[in-house]
Amino acid sequence: MDSKKQREGMTRRDFLKMTAVAGVGLAIGGAGVSAIERAVRPASTSAAESNPSEDTIPMYGEHQAGIITPQQTYMYLASFRITTEDKAAVIRLFRDWTRFSDLSTSGGTMKTGDNPLLPPSDTGETLDLPASKLTVTFGFGPTFFSVEGKNRFGISAKSPRYLKDIPRMPKDNLDHLQSGGDVIVQVCAEDQQVAFHAVRNFIRLSTGYATLKWIQEGFISGSGGKTPRNLFGFKDGTANNLHQTPAGYNDVVWAGEDEPAWMKGGTYLAYRKVRMLLEVWDRSSLTDQEDTFGRHKESGAAYGTKDEFDTVDPAQMPVSAHVRLAKQSKQLIHRRGYSYTDGVDLRTGNVNAGLLFISYQKNPDEQLIPMLKLMQSQDKLNEYTSHVASALFACPGGLREGQYIGQSILES
């Protein structure tokens, strides 16, 4: 059994004991760890730990996890601004983030430390919790490569072909404090505390190298095999089933051959925070709601069809229906959005809630921007929504064990 498989079979507490014995802290792997693993017997035989492979999603592979991975229930999206101008410091940060990602996604945790006079090395809120299908996905914004013509870290020539801010749309009401960023980290898990623990430690590990620009948390819920519903009560992301094959992902999601080598197996992450005016929506009739989407609310079937996944006939829908306009664009994107709630709007007393629209695509210029322009100018849904934040990031391909995130950009 290799060290990785053995690590997956241990509880977080077992791993903590193991690292405490060794004093290895973040470092894992190698003969030393194997020797320690032989000395530590997993203590728990609970159901969750008896088959940990069902609770973990591999971090390494051709593509980053968290893109075409079946959607987990909870998500945190954290945007960072790199504060150091030292390329070596950026590399240290990315190495630490990668080690932490490897450890957390496989169900381990960092040791809390040997010196009681120092802060613990891990915040500790996931001790004894399983990995909960934790995934971490990294992406880089336009400002990671250059700012106002300045070539940051000597990598501007490696900027991918379509990486730029999403153009301002006719009905945008953007808050720039909640938009953009140098690096994005998407953290997803089936347990909110596991997801929060990960993003919290990414923030902690960034001290001295980067600052948190904005953070969003989201949730989604749906029964097996059915498309989840958004906060308007309508199914959201039905069209994803049109490309969920290897060939479909190549056509829709993964970057093309005309991109820099580090984008092989990568993609573009588009983000829009869409405030949903729930109080206005809740006062509208069922007919108005269904006309707005062009779908029946309960079944999810498009107008003129019986089942959610039946072929859509746009001619059966009102000209400004959301689904009709999406089909009119004749483009596919891979949607992976989450709902959000964010307290009360103190100006109006209304609930601040909506959609964290996230999509992955190989060519945002062709697949996303024209669709956004069309829908922002004609979509009936605009009466009930407002786009308040926006960003675009390039996500590199997956890692092999021993590599760190961004290595193919910073070192090649």
Please provide the DSSP assignment of 137-193 as one string. EEEE-HHHHEETTEEGGG-GGG--TT-SPPPPPTT----GGGS--SEEEEEEESSHH
Using an 8 Å Cβ cutoff, are 170 and 227 in contact? no
pLDDT of residue 138: 98
Query: What value does the mean pLDDT take over residues 379-399?
Result: 97
How does the average pLDDT of the chain come out, rounded? Answer: 87
Using an 8 Å Cβ cutoff, are 68 and 369 in contact? no
- Stronger pLDDT, 301 or 14, i.e. the higher one: 301
Is pLDDT at 275 greater than 50 in this prediction? Answer: yes
CA distances from 147 to 161, 181, 260, 336, 410 (A): 17, 11, 20, 29, 17
- Of the listed ranges 24-33, 165-174, 367-376, the one predicted with least confidence: 24-33
pLDDT of residue 14: 45
Strand partners, 385: 276
DSSP string, 177-230: GGS--SEEEEEEESSHHHHHHHHHHHHHHTTTTEEEEEEEEEE----TTSPPB-
- Stronger pLDDT, 80 or 49, i.e. the higher one: 80
Enclosing H/E stretch for 385: strand 385-395
pTM above 0.85, yes or no: yes
Enclosing H/E stretch for 91: helix 87-105
pLDDT of residue 156: 96
Confidence of residue 40 (pLDDT cuts 50, 70, 90): very low
CA distances from 205 to 90, 124, 208, 249 (A): 12, 14, 9, 33
Is pLDDT at 25 greater than 90 in this prediction? Answer: no
pLDDT of residue 35: 30
Cα gap 151→130, rounded to integer Å = 42
Using an 8 Å Cβ cutoff, are 79 and 181 in contact? yes
For the chain, the domains span 74-109+121-411
Confidence of residue 47 (pLDDT cuts 50, 70, 90): very low
